Amino acid sequence: MPQEKVEFLKGTLDMLILKVVAAGPIHGYAISQRIQQISRDFFQVPQGSLYPALHRLEEQDWLEAQWKDTSTGREAKFYTLTRKGRKQLETEVSNWERLSDAVALILRTAE
Amino acid sequence: MRWLRRLWQKSLTEKRLDSELQFHLEQQIAGYIASGLTPDEARRRACIEFGGLERFKEECREARWENHLDILARDFRVALRGLAKDRRFAFIAIFALALGIGASTAIFSVVDNALLEPFPYKDSRYLVTIRLHDKDQVDHWRGAFLFAEFQELMKQNHVFDAMVANLTDDIVYAAGDGNLRLAGNYVTPGTFEFFGVPPFLGRSLEAADYQPGAPPVFVLRHAAWVGKFNSDPSLIGKTFALNGVVRTLVGVTAPRFAWGGVDFWMPRSPDEPKLLSRDFPNYWGVVAHLKPGVSADEATADLAVIAQRLSTVYPKEYPKHFAMEVLSFSSAVLSPRFRNSLYIFLAAVGLLLLIGCGNVANLLLVRATAREKEFALRSALGASRFRLVRQLLVESFLLGVSGATLGILFAWAGVKTIAAVIPDFTIASETVIQMNWTVLLFALVVGIGTVFLFGLVPALQASRCDLSDSLRDTGKGVAGTAGRAGVRNAVIVLEVALSLTLLFTAGLFVRSFIALQEVPLGLQVDHVLTARIPLPPERYKTAAQLTSFYRPLLARLKSVPGIASAAETSTLPPYGGVRSEVEVPGKAHTEKWDTLFQLCSEGYFSVLRIQFLDGRPFTEAEVNDARKVAVINQTFRRRYFGNENPIGRSIHLKELKEFPDSLSEPWFEIIGVVADARNQGLQDPLWPEVWIPYTVTGSFMRGILVRTTNEPKSMIKAVGHEIWATDQSVAMAQPETLEYFLNLFTFAQPRFGLWLVTIFAAIGLVLVTIGVYSVIEYTTSRRTHEIGIRLALGAARADVLKMVLRKGLYLLLTGIVIGLSLSFALSRVLVSQLWGVSPYDRLTSIAVAGLLLLVGLIACWIPARRATRVNPSTALRYE
């Protein structure tokens, strides 16, 4: 259960979604579950942010979607990463790393 | 193409969005059940967590581009609803815009095709024709030159890149089953290279064709190939007997090539001049290509020097005082009267576009004022300026596009109509009247630009003005803010003035056309058939040879049932004869005496029903014996004999000495005097005229006049048969009724001008009526509240009516006064177009001012009357 609400930094949700989708075709519910699991419940992805983000990414051609049967036989929308999306992910990850390194450096040395 | 599919499958996209979110919800519920909750509890929690489903959906939708279309579509729906509610406004605005765009585009296209780019030729801007002006006489010039003169001009000039010349001749084509008369041109080397228009079929004339001894060839005009030879492509390479020479057809010109306006072109070669159907001195039409950077004035100066030299070599060809003139191609080909008309129409149409746009602008301003409150309210409720502007842009777009579409339709129909009714011979035969897309674009931009510019006014107001003021102003008793009302009134006054100018011009055209039709001709043109008869030159050179053809022909014609009388003639009324210097013994005079003379047979006066005032017509014997007798007209008698009796006196026609089959002693005894019949067309003053027996010389082109008892056209075949029976190698050219020619040469152009101006004036009047009506209607409706109060306080309905009409009357009268002064200032330009009516004609000015006032007052009266019908209690509540 959510202990406290953590706001996503601007743009980080998109990057996390891309990262999760990069592992293979996955539907919306599973994406929110994966993010929650991997972050050990640190991130709660509200549906109100998840779906507009998914649609935006699809509109930008970073994701593509297909309707497929799930293991339970129910039809669901599965997202996969496009080539453009993979490039975008790489850029965003490297940007993020440089940003977090810089932030960490300041936090460590500015005392 | 996914995006396109998505646009058409919006409901599917919507459904998918639903089921995606539904799936998520179900998974969530399943998750909670798995963690041990009861199904009901699981569903409840999942739903709470999910929150406002519709809001997510909207956010998802906004991520997708097609939803912006949705908003736009909504704007369109709102705009359509708004315009539908204000249907009268919408129709009037669209109609005014379309009329402005359509009329101006149509006429601009005609002017552009006929005046600015009439020729398909290479570098047609640099092409000029040359003519020689007799400075002692008005409008007396010669536009053609002896071949030797042409060669000298070509050799000695410093201003032209190239020069070519042509000579038109009547050619009889001996087809297997009869004769066909064609017009042919002899052309000089380089002609086709000069014009630079590639042929449609085969080849053009080439350098080798002009060499002495080259096989005779010719090139056929596209129109003749289509009209006379059924567009048969197998004719290339075939031979044709043309005036007795067997020529090979080598090519067909491009459709618009029409140099000289003839049916075909033959190379001039040195041994050819003797083939011509007439062998008096031949004059060649000359065209030249100006060197780059040389102006027409410089060319004129250069030619003046050469002409001075030539006048000493060929003294007979040059008048005492002369000047060379270099004319641009289009101005030389287009008749000057008609060119002026076109410029006037051009101005008229500019005015129409102005009036049309003025109307639209006014309507939009009016609407803007009426909606001031609406926009203030929307702005107050948080509509962004962008949103308001977008809404208005959509509205303007709808108006603009509808107006433009209708305008294009009008323009298209207008061009088609004008091209169909434009009279023959008023524009160059190369000219093709078609829609000019650049001009259409220009009119569209101006029209739609007006709509957008004035359509945005409410948005600008909404963002500028103080909201609370606008909201408090409920439109009661205030007829719009003073500044804007001023603009509106100015537009109306201007429209009235411009429209009055158009109406006045149209009125003058109508008056002058009526005057023209009432000119007494002095002869009767009905039931007269006429035809030119080009005779083969090798067999008909002398007077005796000519007589041997016409004498039996006239006898044959007179015996045909349905033919009352027939005569030979050398010219076609109402244009008379050849100019000649004339001497009357016993009359001393210092200036040159001129007359026209015609060669005719004894039946001439009875065919045309010309009245004798004195003496008698020729007898058949006098004509057949080629006696030197003459009949003169009243003008001749008055001018050269005064009060003396001319019968029995002699006159000397100098010109007859100059022609190949000349008379050594051209003295004629006057035996009769006829009443004046028009001989310079309808508009120009009469000349003295002399008729002499046609048998005295073999020179000059001849034809016949036949008075029929029934429909003259029905006799064409019979006349043709008699000509063929007289000489099987002869064919007549242009058989037509005299009425047709009169119509063509004298009435067609003025009638065309009349129609165009009248149509313009009518459109202008309609537009002005719309303008006056819309402004009065609007101001009145804004004053409904005030009028209600007045009525409630006991004002008579007549007072209200008067109050509204007074406002309209004031605008109309101001416009009319300005318009009349404008008309009088402009009508000086019109003088050349008018005939028999003063450019300041009082009747016309009173009539058009009255018409405009009447129509304007009706336009005011409708809203005024509605205002008086207002029920005071409704009016007081009215907003």
Any idea where the domains of chain B sit in the sequence? Answer: 2-64, 124-333, 336-518+745-877, 534-731
Q: What is the pLDDT of residue B627?
A: 92
Cα B264–B270–B275 angle (5° rounding)?
A: 55
Angstrom distance (rounded) from CA B188 to CA B163: 9
Stretch B490-501: mean pLDDT? 85
Burial of B697 (0-12, 13-18, 19+ CB in 10 A): buried
Contact present, B219 and B185 (Cβ < 8 Å) = no
Residue B594 is inside which H or E element, if any? Answer: strand B594-600
Angstrom distance (rounded) from CA B239 to CA B236: 9
Instruction: Transcribe B164-201 into DSSP letters.
Output: EEEEEEEEEEEETTEEEEEEEEEE-TTHHHHHT---SE
Chain A interface, mutation test: which of B50, B53, B56, B57, most A Cβ atoms within 10 Å?
B56
Close Cβ partners of B619 (under 8 Å, ≥ 6 residues apart): B602
Q: Which of B605, B608, B621 is nearest to B672 (CA)?
A: B605
Q: What is the pLDDT of residue B139?
A: 64
Half-sphere exposure of B358 (CA within 13 A, CB side): 27
Judged by average pLDDT, the poorest of A78-92, B158-172, B190-204, B343-357 is B343-357
CATH architecture for segment(s) A12-109: Orthogonal Bundle (1.10)
Does A29 sit within 8 Å of B23, measured CB to CB?
A: yes
Alpha-carbon distances, residue B72 vs B9, B53, B69 (angstroms) = 18, 25, 5
Contact present, B275 and B537 (Cβ < 8 Å) = yes
Among the partner-chain residues A27, A32, A56, the one whose CB lies closest to the CB of B63 is A56
Chain B residues touching chain A at CB-CB below 8 Å: 16, 19-21, 23-24, 26-28, 31, 49-52, 55-56, 59-60, 62-65
Close Cβ partners of B219 (under 8 Å, ≥ 6 residues apart): B192, B199, B202, B204, B205, B249, B250, B251, B252, B253, B264, B265
pLDDT above 80 (res A8) = no
Report the amino acid identity of residue B355.
Answer: I
Q: Given CA atoms B89, B74, B69, A14 in this order, what sign does their dihedral have?
A: positive
Report the amino acid identity of residue B497.
Answer: A
Does A27 sit within 8 Å of B62, measured CB to CB?
A: no
Chain A interface, mutation test: which of B50, B60, B66, most A Cβ atoms within 10 Å?
B60
Over residues B301-328, the pLDDT tens digits come to 999 999 999 888 888 788 888 888 888 8
Q: Which of A16, A95, A90, A92 is nearest to A53 (CA)?
A: A16
Close Cβ partners of A65 (under 8 Å, ≥ 6 residues apart): A58, A77, A78, A79, A80
Stretch A57-79: mean pLDDT? 85
Contact present, B790 and B486 (Cβ < 8 Å) = no
A55 vs B: CB within 8 A: yes
Contact list in A for residue B24 (CB cut-off 8 A) is: 28-29, 32, 47, 51
Asked if the bond preceding B574 is cis, omega within 30° of 0, the reply is yes
Q: What is the pLDDT of residue B475?
A: 44
Over residues B434-449, the pLDDT tens digits come to 888 888 888 888 888 8
Gap from A41 CA to chain B (nearest CA, Å)? 15
Does A74 sit within 8 Å of B24, measured CB to CB?
A: no
Q: What is the pLDDT of residue B134?
A: 81
Tell me the average pLDDT of chain B. 82
Among the partner-chain residues A33, A48, A76, the one whose CB lies closest to the CB of B23 is A76
Alpha-carbon distances, residue B473 vs B371, B376, B458, B481, B875 (angstroms) = 12, 11, 15, 11, 16
Among the partner-chain residues A46, A52, A74, the one whose CB lies closest to the CB of B23 is A74
Over residues B224-263, the pLDDT tens digits come to 898 888 888 999 999 998 887 889 999 999 888 888 888 8
Among the partner-chain residues B23, B56, B64, the one whose CB lies closest to the CB of A27 is B23
Give SS3 for B37: coil
Alpha-carbon distances, residue B190 vs B209, B322, B486, B755 (angstroms) = 10, 30, 65, 43
Does A51 sit within 8 Å of B59, measured CB to CB?
A: yes
Over residues B685-724, the pLDDT tens digits come to 888 999 999 999 888 888 999 999 989 888 988 998 899 8
The 3 state secondary structure assigned to B343-377 is: HHHHHHHHHHHHHHHHHHHHHHHHHHHHCHHHHHH
Q: Which of B648, B698, B693, B650 is nearest to B671 (CA)?
A: B648
Alpha-carbon distances, residue B514 vs A46, A51, A90 (angstroms) = 88, 82, 89
ipTM of the complex: 0.80
Look at strands B201-202 and B245-252 and give their pairing: antiparallel
Among the partner-chain residues A30, A52, A59, the one whose CB lies closest to the CB of B59 is A52
Close Cβ partners of B402 (under 8 Å, ≥ 6 residues apart): B90, B94
Q: What is the pLDDT of residue B757?
A: 74
Which bin fits B105, alpha (ψ -120 to 50), beta or left (φ > 0)?
A: alpha
Over residues B541-569, the pLDDT tens digits come to 888 999 999 999 999 999 999 999 999 99
Burial of B486 (0-12, 13-18, 19+ CB in 10 A): exposed
Q: What is the pLDDT of residue B623?
A: 92
The structure tokens listed for B863 are 């809203």
Place of tokens 């570098």: B123
Contact present, B529 and B712 (Cβ < 8 Å) = yes
Contact present, B359 and B494 (Cβ < 8 Å) = no
Angstrom distance (rounded) from CA B405 to CA B417: 18
Model confidence at B597, pLDDT cuts 50, 70, 90, reads very high
Contact present, B187 and B265 (Cβ < 8 Å) = yes
If one counts every other C-beta atom within 10 angstroms of the C-beta of residue B607, the result is 26
Angstrom distance (rounded) from CA A28 to CA A101: 31
Angstrom distance (rounded) from CA B705 to CA B574: 13
Look at strands B650-653 and B563-569 and give their pairing: unpaired
- The residue of chain B with its CA nearest to that of A46 is B50
Contact present, B452 and B357 (Cβ < 8 Å) = no
Angstrom distance (rounded) from CA B239 to CA B276: 19
Angstrom distance (rounded) from CA B200 to CA B499: 47
Residues paired with B530 in a beta bridge: B705, B736
A34 vs B: CB within 8 A: no
Among the partner-chain residues A32, A46, A52, the one whose CB lies closest to the CB of B63 is A52
Helices (H), B617-735: 620-624, 634-636, 716-726
Q: What is the pLDDT of residue B480?
A: 46
Place of tokens 């007359």: B595
Contact list in A for residue B26 (CB cut-off 8 A) is: 74
Contact present, B656 and B503 (Cβ < 8 Å) = no
Share in percent of chain B as helix, strand, coil (round to 5): 55, 15, 30
Angle between helices B336-370 and B87-111 (to 10 degrees): 160
Judged by average pLDDT, the poorest of B343-352, B386-395, B700-709, B790-799 is B343-352
Q: Which of B391, B467, B446, B289 is nearest to B74 (CA)?
A: B391
Chain A interface, mutation test: which of B17, B22, B24, B65, most A Cβ atoms within 10 Å?
B24
pLDDT above 50 (res B476) = no
Helices (H), B265-321: 296-313
Contact present, B23 and A27 (Cβ < 8 Å) = yes
Which bin fits B302, alpha (ψ -120 to 50), beta or left (φ > 0)?
A: alpha
- pTM equals 0.63
Does B52 sit within 8 Å of A76, measured CB to CB?
A: no
Judged by average pLDDT, the poorest of B96-105, B366-375, B786-795 is B366-375
pLDDT above 70 (res B473) = no
Give SS3 for B72: helix
Report the amino acid identity of residue B556.
Answer: R
Does A75 sit within 8 Å of B16, measured CB to CB?
A: no
Angle between helices B543-558 and B716-726 (to 10 degrees): 140
Angstrom distance (rounded) from CA B14 to CA A36: 28
Angstrom distance (rounded) from CA B65 to CA B75: 16
Does A56 sit within 8 Å of B23, measured CB to CB?
A: no
Contact present, B348 and B509 (Cβ < 8 Å) = no
Q: What is the pLDDT of residue B67?
A: 65
Place of tokens 């088609």: B416
Better-predicted residue by pLDDT, B839 or B404: B404
Angstrom distance (rounded) from CA B572 to CA B544: 23
